[in-house]
Amino acid sequence: MTGSHPALTAHFPRWTVKGTAHHRTTCACCGHENLEHTVALAPLDLLGDASGPAVHFGPRCAAAVLHRPVAAVALAACHADMRAERKDAWARKIISLYGPMEFGTDQEMEAAWNRSGNASSSSWQAREFVTKFLADARAQLTDTTLRPTRPHSITDFQPFLVVLDTSNLRHHWCGVVPRENTEGFHTSARRDWTGMVSVTVAALDETSAVHVAFGRRGIAQYNAERGWF
Ligand SMILES: [Zn+2]
């Protein structure tokens, strides 16, 4: 099964399993086509760090190169998939929270950063952190090792209604605002959630929308405390 792919030569004797790729169905090792999925492997350097782009091998070739049973590689890939999904979720949250702030003033940046669960930072630090986090988040969602590019820009945002507890600690409900009969949706939500605070926000997913809703309330409070507009 081990072919003559250059990645199999002695330069990178160790590999790490990056996950399962359903969009890559040809084994880069033996050339086998129309596989159900491939396993993405990244070469490790001598210090054990992933270095260089991943290669996509069929499950049997991946097992052969790792000297492990096919089932053990599948399990490692499954765990790596879950880690990748958590990174995607983090990236969606970062872009939802800070994407709209990217071209904001230093004050807006500071308020957004300090009221989104981060350690307190000055304006210039906040801009630096936001810029770096946004770059990391976009790199994560445009990494096509395991899946095609995922939605990652503010033009991909959807509208959500978030119903918050007045204690500002938890939310009761979050859902997509329909594009049809939007007013009817809000009227019925007001009826269902009498006495609650509801806020309409835009975000990449539901979980991020809740963070944005709390962030927005926190920002208003932060600005009020400092006498900013
Ligand atoms: Zn193969």
**Do 123 and 62 lie in a common domain?**
no
Centre of ligand 1 to C-alpha 60, Å, is 6
Centre of ligand 1 to C-alpha 34, Å, is 11
Centre of ligand 1 to C-alpha 1, Å, is 6
129 domain residue, yes or no: yes
51 domain residue, yes or no: yes
**Do 175 and 213 lie in a common domain?**
yes
**Do 135 and 163 lie in a common domain?**
no
Centre of ligand 1 to C-alpha 49, Å, is 24
How far is C-alpha 190 from the chain's CA centre?
31
Centre of ligand 1 to C-alpha 51, Å, is 22
**pLDDT per residue over 81-120, tens digit each?**
999 999 999 999 999 999 998 998 888 888 888 877 677 7
Per-residue confidence (pLDDT) for residue 12, from 0 to 100 = 47
3 vs 37, more confident:
37
Range of the domain at 122: 87-141
Arithmetic mean of pLDDT, 11-32 = 90
Q: In 3D, which of 61, 67, 100 has the Cα closest to residue 201?
A: 100
Arithmetic mean of pLDDT, 210-217 = 90
76 domain residue, yes or no: no
Instruction: Say how many domains are in the chain.
Output: 3
**pLDDT per residue over 35-57, tens digit each?**
999 999 998 888 878 788 999 99
In this prediction the pTM is 0.87
107 domain residue, yes or no: yes
Centre of ligand 1 to C-alpha 47, Å, is 27
98 domain residue, yes or no: yes
**pLDDT per residue over 140-172, tens digit each?**
999 999 999 999 999 999 999 999 887 767 888
Centre of ligand 1 to C-alpha 87, Å, is 28
